[in-house]
């Protein structure tokens, strides 16, 4: 225990040092990082039965070649994205053991298990994404794990995005053996968090994701690839899984259009378990994009009658609060779900042992150009999150007193100069709100000046896509983060921009910036997109954060209404919430010259604007093709369609019309 005492003393000293905002580096030096106890592992694939007869395909991996140890704590990943993939040409299987972090955790004495959700991979059953049946399935798998002779009764969950949601879903069902979860990059609620940010359909991501899922759940070979989901049962007992996939005789990537019964490369008879799971069950899946495309409102219904708020983490919060389960939230400043990471943490901080870490990544928290800008390689960035997982699991699954629970609960990377810093609460109470007012000659000023307005003709070709691959925070959810810094220079030529004078001193903005705009428009409808950028003395701009809102949702409501499934939960922090229900939408909001006030919160950020730099606020009416163009203005969703209605908006400022941006500034 001496090494653990040393690390605890080190962290105690470090925490004290950071109270004066001194910079430190991650990962923390942690003795268990370098101590490999087991040298190899054993893998088993099988089915786990559910009460309704559905069979869930699982792979589990047990540490081997180490101490004489019969039981292990277990890390559980619950996925719709194929627990393992098989290469048709080589017969090679890529599973958890193909990932460096997984092999590393096995050496530390953790067993691993990965399960295909029903309707996906090699599992049977059908799927409507996020349906409550998946929640109870997760609990059933945890209960099954706990009953195995190799489990010591302690289960943790991990993973990001859909695998983050599957953790909150499972934890809400209160499985006894589930002792902690580490959900990464998920929203608090699914409507504005994932499908309709600001009430505007996220077309680019949804198309990309739906395309992948169409092929994936049907166990088709992805275009240009030779991989598909790995079977779970070696039916002919020859020790090979590659020959359990039916032949694709016509070479179109699918075995589903071949004659039944299917044929196999070795000609051996089978029960056709994998084939039937795919044809008889997965073909019944609901296409998420198909039904969400026509939702439009927060209270719109899914095919099974649930609203999005009844399917997302909002429906899980009360169960997680009741469970008191420890939660380590993982976010990234340039993820599409950054707001959700902070909301989930802040809403449950007082009820559950809670931690939050946010770095300068995208949806892949260790990816993106900002890590490199701030001096980290990808491997160094990944190591930070691997160590944090290990420290958290060591405490709550192994009972190792390593001090992680005595640190301040929030760990953020203050970008552009200050590095990693602990915070006690979010947003930091010591911040002050500094207003910058829009003014004449495209300026942002500390004081409101003469009244006026600026006109901007909508440019539907405006897009926030960056780098040679055209990535951004939203497309990054599908793995397409920019391959270079997101410069706004070209995009701002198609937007209306306001800018400060060069700063006389550094300014740290940490929290949730909010912009208020007073607008009129020549069209009845409109969407507004806003961007906050850092402009260096040479004029190069880099995007810091952004937001968007459909104007018809101008009204503001109590953000506690986000959680409708369980009244009485205080959703924190208190951010602008526009309801987004059908009855809360104002049709033709700009009609007859109506002056509309829009309040839009940006994604949270922590950024230091350097002395001599300028802040730039950019305003646009579209972000195509990431977002669908307004259907009342551009029915064909084509920016060049001559039938489009192209509005001219006017931004009003000064006098009684105080268009401004509010910045949470750390003194």
Q: Can you tell me the mean pLDDT for 498-503? A: 98
**519 - beta bridge partners?**
596, 651
CA neighbours within 13 Å on the CB side: how many for 400?
A: 21
Which residue's structure tokens are 């309707």? 119
Best CATH choice for the domain 432-554+589-666 from the list 3.40.50.300, 2.40.128.50, 2.60.120.260, 3.20.20.100: 2.60.120.260
Residue-wise pLDDT tens digits, 192-236:
999 999 999 999 999 999 989 999 999 998 666 778 999 999 999
Residues of the chain with CATH 3.40.50: 36-179+188-250+257-325
Question: Taking 70 as the threshold, does the pLDDT of residue 3 lie above it?
Answer: no
550's CB contacts (< 8 A; 6+ apart) are: 198, 199, 200, 526, 527, 630
| Phi, psi angles (nearest 5°) of residue 615 | -95, 135
The answer to whether residues 263 and 271 touch, using CB atoms and an 8 Å cutoff, is no
**Cα angle value 99/103/104 (rounded, 5°):** 110
Question: Taking 80 as the threshold, does the pLDDT of residue 106 lie above it?
Answer: yes
| Phi, psi angles (nearest 5°) of residue 25 | -115, 150
Across the chain, what does the average pLDDT equal?
94
99's CB contacts (< 8 A; 6+ apart) are: none
Q: Can you tell me the mean pLDDT for 451-479? A: 97
Question: Taking 70 as the threshold, does the pLDDT of residue 18 lie above it?
Answer: no
DSSP, res 335: S
Residue 345 confidence (pLDDT): 98
pLDDT band at 35 (very low <50, low <70, confident <90, very high): confident
Residue 89 confidence (pLDDT): 80
Distance CA 255, CA 259 (A): 9
Residue-wise pLDDT tens digits, 241-253:
889 999 988 888 8
Residue 555 confidence (pLDDT): 98
- Residue 162's SS3 state is helix
pLDDT band at 20 (very low <50, low <70, confident <90, very high): very low
Q: Can you tell me the mean pLDDT for 440-445? A: 96
Give CA torsion, residues 654, 658, 663, 667, to 10 deg. Answer: 60
**598 - beta bridge partners?**
517
pLDDT band at 21 (very low <50, low <70, confident <90, very high): low
Q: Can you tell me the mean pLDDT for 143-167? A: 98
Residue 88 confidence (pLDDT): 79
The answer to whether residues 190 and 108 touch, using CB atoms and an 8 Å cutoff, is no
Q: Can you tell me the mean pLDDT for 34-63? A: 96
The answer to whether residues 398 and 372 touch, using CB atoms and an 8 Å cutoff, is no
Question: Taking 80 as the threshold, does the pLDDT of residue 267 lie above it?
Answer: yes
Residue 22 confidence (pLDDT): 56
Residue 100 confidence (pLDDT): 96
Residues of the chain with CATH 2.60.120.260: 432-554+589-666
Distance CA 323, CA 309 (A): 21
Residue 222 confidence (pLDDT): 66
- The CATH number assigned to the domain with range 36-179+188-250+257-325 reads 3.40.50
């Amino acid at each position: 225990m001496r090494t653990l005492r040393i690390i605890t003393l080190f962290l105690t000293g470090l925490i004290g040092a950071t109270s004066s905002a001194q910079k430190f580096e991650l990962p923390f030096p942690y003795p268990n990082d370098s101590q490999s106890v087991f040298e190899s592992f054993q893998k088993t694939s099988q089915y786990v039965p559910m009460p309704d007869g559905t069979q869930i395909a699982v792979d589990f991996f047990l540490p081997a070649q180490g101490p004489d140890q019969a039981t292990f704590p277990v890390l559980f990943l619950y996925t719709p994205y194929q627990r393992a993939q098989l290469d048709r040409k080589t017969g090679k299987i890529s599973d958890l053991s193909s990932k460096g972090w997984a092999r590393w955790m096995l050496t530390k004495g953790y067993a691993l298990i990965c399960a295909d959700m029903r309707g996906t991979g090699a599992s049977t059953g059908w799927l409507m994404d996020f349906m409550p049946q998946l929640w109870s399935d997760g609990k059933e798998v945890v209960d099954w794990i706990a009953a195995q002779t190799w489990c010591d009764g302690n289960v943790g969950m991990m993973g990001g995005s859909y695998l983050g949601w599957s953790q909150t879903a499972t934890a809400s069902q209160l499985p006894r053996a589930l002792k902690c979860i580490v959900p990464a990059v998920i929203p608090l609620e699914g409507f504005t968090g994932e499908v309709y940010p600001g009430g505007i359909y996220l077309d680019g991501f949804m198309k990309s994701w739906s395309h992948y899922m169409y092929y994936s759940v049907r166990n088709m070979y992805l275009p240009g690839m030779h991989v598909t989901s790995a079977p779970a049962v070696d039916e002919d007992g020859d020790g090979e899984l590659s020959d359990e996939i039916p032949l694709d005789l016509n070479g179109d990537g699918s075995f589903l259009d071949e004659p039944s019964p299917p044929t196999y490369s070795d000609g051996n008879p089978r029960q056709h378990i994998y084939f039937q799971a795919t044809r008889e069950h997965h073909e019944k899946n609901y296409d998420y994009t198909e039904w969400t495309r026509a939702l439009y409102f927060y209270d719109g219904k899914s095919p099974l009658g649930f609203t999005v708020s009844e399917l997302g983490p909002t429906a899980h919060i009360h169960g997680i609060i009741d469970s008191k389960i420890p939660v380590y939230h993982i976010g990234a400043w340039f993820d599409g779900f950054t707001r959700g990471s902070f909301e989930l943490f802040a809403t449950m901080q007082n009820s559950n042992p809670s931690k939050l870490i946010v770095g300068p990544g995208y949806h892949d928290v260790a990816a993106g150009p900002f890590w490199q800008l701030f001096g980290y390689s990808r491997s160094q960035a990944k190591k930070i999150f691997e160590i944090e997982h290990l420290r958290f699991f060591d405490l709550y699954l192994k009972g190792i007193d390593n001090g992680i629970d005595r640190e301040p609960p929030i760990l953020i990377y203050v970008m552009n100069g200050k590095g990693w810093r602990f915070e006690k609460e979010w947003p930091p109470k010591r911040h002050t709100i500094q207003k910058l007012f829009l003014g004449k000659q495209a300026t942002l000023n500390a004081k409101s000046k003469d009244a006026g307005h600026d006109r901007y003709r909508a440019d539907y070709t405006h897009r926030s896509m960056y780098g040679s691959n055209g990535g951004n925070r939203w497309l990054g959810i599908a793995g397409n983060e920019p391959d270079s810094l997101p410069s706004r220079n070209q995009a701002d030529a198609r937007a209306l921009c306001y800018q400060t004078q060069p700063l006389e001193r550094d300014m740290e903005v940490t929290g949730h910036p909010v912009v208020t705009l007073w607008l009129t428009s020549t069209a009845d409808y409109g969407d507004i997109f806003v961007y906050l950028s850092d402009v260096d003395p040479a004029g190069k701009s880099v995007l810091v954060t952004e937001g968007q809102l459909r104007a018809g949702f101008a009204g503001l409501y109590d953000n506690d209404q986000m959680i409708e499934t369980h009244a009485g939960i205080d959703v924190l922090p208190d951010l602008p919430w526009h309801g987004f229900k059908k009855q809360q939408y104002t049709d033709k909001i700009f009609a007859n010259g109506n002056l509309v006030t829009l309040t839009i919160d940006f994604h949270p950020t922590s950024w230091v604007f350097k002395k001599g730099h300028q802040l730039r606020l950019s305003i646009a009416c579209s972000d195509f093709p990431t977002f669908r163009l307004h259907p009342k203005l551009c029915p064909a969703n084509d920016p060049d369609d001559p039938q489009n209605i192209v509005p001219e908006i006017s931004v009003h400022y000064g006098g009684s019309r105080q268009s401004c941006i509010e910045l949470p500034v750390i003194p």
